[in-house]
Amino acid sequence: SPTGDSWGIFTFLCAALCNLPALPALNCSEELGAGQSIQQTYDLTRYLEHQLRTLAGTYLNYLGPPFNEPDFNPPRLARAERVPSATVDLDLWRGLTDNARLAANYRAYSRLLCYLRVLDSQVGTAELRHRLAHFCASLQGLVLSIGGVMSSLGYPLPAGPAGPPAPPGAPTAPNDFLKKMDDFWLLKELQTWLWRSAKDFNRLKKKVPPAVVTLRLEAREF
């Protein structure tokens, strides 16, 4: 009868469900996480590029002339060498391993973040402090995101935390102009780092497949 057939089908399904643990399990590949992490880091880098364009213009106007003039292009002073420089030969940079580039990005943004936080504490206007604090929070997210990419690819994080931008007792800028020059170079180097990092993560995401589900069978004893 139809009722008997329905009961038989129901009994069969219950028995099948009870025996599911004995079947091979389907698990997602770990490569999925790496692809997503790289894509998110690339998107965050591009967002920070856009955010910095507005912030840099506002901050340079705060510094005043000649720093906010479009053709102002001073030589880099020895004082600014403490800021991690992105002016590395592109062929040399591309010749590095993925691990080495990721580690360099991680270290650089950790140090740049320290400088920006000092900058934030010294700014005289509430609006600019708010913008700097928001940017620092985004940059902290980028540092964590790069660390996540390295972990997902099996790379260790660089040893030792990034220290403060200067040791206690280090001399400050001898005058206001040189202090502004330090700030100018900090923003300039940060722009170059973000521009290059966007290219790095764009190339890296082409190496690692995007969010495609890969299934793997795990053998189990019956």
For residue 126, the domain's CATH number is 1.20.1250.10
Is position 16 within any domain?
no
- Give residue 125's pLDDT: 87
- Give residue 86's pLDDT: 75
- Give residue 160's pLDDT: 56
Has residue 112 got a pLDDT over 50? yes
**Choice among 28-32, 89-93, 181-185, 209-213 with the minimum mean pLDDT:** 28-32
Is position 76 within any domain?
yes
Is position 3 within any domain?
no
Has residue 208 got a pLDDT over 90? no
Task: Please state the domain count of the chain.
Answer: 1
Is position 12 within any domain?
no
**pTM listed for this prediction:** 0.74
| pLDDT grade for 214, boundaries at 50, 70 and 90 | very low
Is position 17 within any domain?
no
| 91 burial level (CB within 10 Å; 0-12, 13-18, 19+) | exposed
**Choice among 20-29, 135-144, 167-176 with the minimum mean pLDDT:** 20-29
Q: If you average pLDDT over every residue of the chain, what do you get?
A: 77
Is position 156 within any domain?
yes
Is position 5 within any domain?
no
Among candidate residues 29, 24, 21, the one with its CA nearest the CA of residue 219: 24
Domain boundaries, position 80: 30-167+177-207
Is position 14 within any domain?
no
